[in-house]
Amino acid sequence: MTRLERHWFQPTWWMTALLALPEGLFALLAALRRTAYRQGWCRANHLPVPVVVIGNINVGGVGKTPLTLALLQDFARLDVPVGVISRGYGGTHRQPTLVTPHSTAAEVGDEPLLLAASGAPVVVGRDRVAAGRHLLALYPQTRFILSDDGLQHYALCRTLEIVVLDGNRGVGNGHLLPNGPLREPVSRLAAADALVINGESCTGLRLPLSVPQFRQRLQAGDFVHAAGQLPPRTAAAFAGQRVVAMAGIGHPERFFRTLCELGVELAATHAFPDHHQFVAADLPQDADAVIVTAKDAVKLQCINHARLWVLPVSARLEPDLAAWILSQLERKNGRKIS
């Protein structure tokens, strides 16, 4: 964690003062941009089907990907055809691109690969409106679209906004970039249709009572051998081995803490920037086992998997968010979605 990131969650008065001016400029630009779309000065585009944005007001990992995966699984069980559009951070694509089994993280980004493994169609694109149109052209039976991230992508009109918050870290010091971790002020939460709190608490944050709240809990499964050559194992199976954990996600400390809570004794941890493109040299050579997240595993497919293990996690939501989304879409559109 850099000094700036530490300031976001353990603020110092002198950095707060030093960064006040750039924060003010960021706040002004962000407010002008949102006002431009709200007043119609910049054009916002509608898609032929409802759009549900799953986003956040702060930078860093908050648990959106497990949430989106859980929703895709719920909608599949309900036999509701749903598609996903994503920015595809870290990918080299230029035009809207369908994620296929032959796609790589270098081409389409890591999170879209993970989402596409659910079986739902996923299209990545810098222009989410174009990505949505491309998805509908390929899959016209799609009832509605989930936008992975994109809360601040106001060029795309949305039917519902679901904002995810990290229950442990909340909104940090409450300041906007670069003085804090926020892309938009805390007051933006009141305009959302629903809030999902990932974790047990929200560090004293007073959330708007008028917005429905859902609780997300992440449940770890058994460790899976990346090469598929060995059966799944529990944490106890790593006893006596030199185990190293690697993570290139928004909040790697949460992953390392989870491993320790499961009983894995870690000899070392290696944190990389979010969306880091791994190379063979990143893998420690002195480890008996290297444990990574499912999101990172899709970026390690071309590297020797003999010592690689993956910790899959699944999201549990209370109350039923998928059912709530369907009811809201049916109410807003005046017709049955499922």
CB 52 within 8 A of CB 144: yes
Q: Is there a binding annotation on residue 12?
A: no
65 is in an annotated binding site: yes
Spatial distance between the Cα atoms of 294 and 124, rounded to a whole number of angstroms: 19
Which three-class secondary structure state does DSSP give residue 114? helix
Report yes or no: 58 and 167 within 8 Å, Cβ to Cβ.
no
How far apart CA 78 and CA 141 sit, in angstroms, is 15
104-134: buried (b, 16+ CB within 10 Å) or exposed (e) per residue? bbebbbbbbbbbbebebbbbbbebbbbbbbb
Q: Is 63 annotated as a binding residue?
A: yes
To 10 degrees, what angle do helices 64-77 and 321-333 make? 70
The answer on whether 234 is annotated among ligand-binding residues is no
Question: Does 80 show up as a binding residue in the annotation?
Answer: no
Which residue, 64, 55, 61, is CA-closest to 150?
55
62 is in an annotated binding site: yes
Query: Which residues contribute to the annotated binding site for ATP?
Result: 58-65
Query: Which residues contribute to the annotated binding site?
Result: 58-65
